[in-house]
Structure 1
Amino acid sequence: MAKVKIGIIGAGGIANNHAHYYRQITDVELVAVADIVEERAVSFAQRWGIPPEGVFTDYIKMLDSVELDAVSVCTPHAVHAKPTIEALKRGVHALVEKPMASSGAEALEMLRAAKASGKILMVGFQTRWSPELGAARKIVASGALGRIYYAEATLGGRRRGIPGSPTFVKRELAGGGVLLDLGCYAIDNLMFVLGHPRPLTISATVEAAIGKQREAVVEGGWPWNPEEFEVEDFVAAFIRFEGGLTMVLKESWAMHADALGSSFILGTKGGLRLSPLEVYRDEWGYMTNTTLKLPQVDIYRERIRSFVEAVKRGGPSPIDPREIVVEMFIIDAIYESARKGREVEVKLPSEVLG
């Protein structure tokens, strides 16, 4: 069987993660890389065995010059959409890093390009292969927790979170701050576990509370340049869904507290905490806490393996891109609510309804 030919668009840090796991699959061949910084593209190619003729500074030239089955899009957040769309237009399957895009409108364009091409569009949420999330999803779907009425999604730490690279903190490259970087994970985790309920309204706030402070102390994390900091480092949102479910989202890159708490779900017959996974119920006349023993899984390996297997089959995507488009419109509504200082409606396009 012919090897699956892979190209990499963007040769930054996360691209090495993709290349590492592609190289572990015997019938995959890394054949090309494109990065606007030539030295970075050359270094990446040398590290991962890509031939010199497969090195480009223009991803369009790469797509037009090299026979590819699929690409990994590992560019900065604000430039995920265009390379993905251009690959799909040329009949090339695409695995794009999170977040899917920097807006719901961009994500919708990507979805439409995938539908028009008939090729796979997968957003790289490796947490979809987390044993904790998989088990939590089964527990919720079983009805063991009763009607789910409340959930919290949290990520963040005191000073370890603000990335030092301008690609995360300059708006033209990042598109947004902690909401796009970490919040997209927290939203996807709970949407996946809860079976993708339909969002209705959102009330939210965002803050650049620490990132602009020259005097902020950094211990055990990345130093950043406050002069370049143009995005939010804190977000809180209250989200209403169909069926009476409400969710609180809290994310922070940096704050004056140790943690924001654990992500959890409350139902009328039980509840659960996501990490480590623990289930709370009333059983046999007692309040019980059950900690599940789950297997260890390399979720990054499973992400790449699942994508490659889908490419071989010709689809479908291991992660339905329509689900992620909905999440991007949730993110849009969070930013809109924060700008307007009031609750706003989540307006979903027809392509993701039903």
Structure 2
Amino acid sequence: MTNDNAVLPIAITLGDPAGVGPEVILKALGAMNAEERASVVVVGTRSVLERAGPIVGADFGLHAFGSAGDAGSVAVEEIDLPGLPLPFGKLDPVGGDASFRYIERAVRLAEAGKVAGIVTAPINKEALNKAGHHYDGHTGMLAALTGSRASFMLLASERLSAIHVSTHVSLRDAIGRATTERVLATIRAGHTHLKRLGLESPRIAVAGINPHCGENGLFGTEDVDAILPAVELARAEGIDVQGPISADTVYYRAYNGAFDLVVAEYHDQGHIPMKLIAFDTTVNVSLGLPIDRTSVDHGTAFDIAGTGKANHVNMLAAIAYARKLAASKKTS
């Protein structure tokens, strides 16, 4: 595999072709100059992109990945699939299968050293599963495609970041998954990532799982039994970590500069504060994989697909983060 990430493009997967992915991708590309557009490749179906072009006023051309294009045009790694384009906003297994095929190809490109990393547009989990691809979302799918034992979801913004012990599972299952081993692995993953980005000694806080961290057993013993031991083990490894800290205060403290990262015990515990303070700019980052992947932190927005109303700011943030990760490879 080549390590010359200076010349490798970022791959952007199209997402569900019936959603807003094609529109936000083209809007984001339209906000770039010709040199910046030359550093990306869209993995998807060209006809889906071409349909979205007039909707968002895209005024640049498309060319096949690996071939020379006109100045300012965008490379497309074509995935030619039957049944596309779909009607806008239609939940369809065809769209779910297309979403999977785009991601699968992008992963293989990254593994082969042909792209520096992946940025994913939104997929619809119901359509994905109806197509026979039984994953809880991008994170689990990427772990399976890359043969990784585990992966971690990090939500990153300028003033607050959170990494999740579990994501798309029921609250009941999330409590069971907050084991000492998994919490420790999550702390390690966050610590390694922040050091890669240049923080010499990342300050990490671990949120408690019960109200007030259980109040010494009054509201549950999970914090003492499972989470505290993970924090103590991480400290023994030299990681600057505190916790468990009550979730109703830890995000406020992190937002105001006390910590660089919060370990969230389950999906909503991390997503709610992140979307409250940085809804349009939070980037979803997958850790623990052999490839780099970032994503927008919003859904397919079927209700506005095809209208041109979808905001592309989050896509720009995801692309910028992917480029930052690629740059960190060059300097590591």
TM-score (norm 1): 0.32
Higher relative contact order (CA 8 A, sep 6+): 2
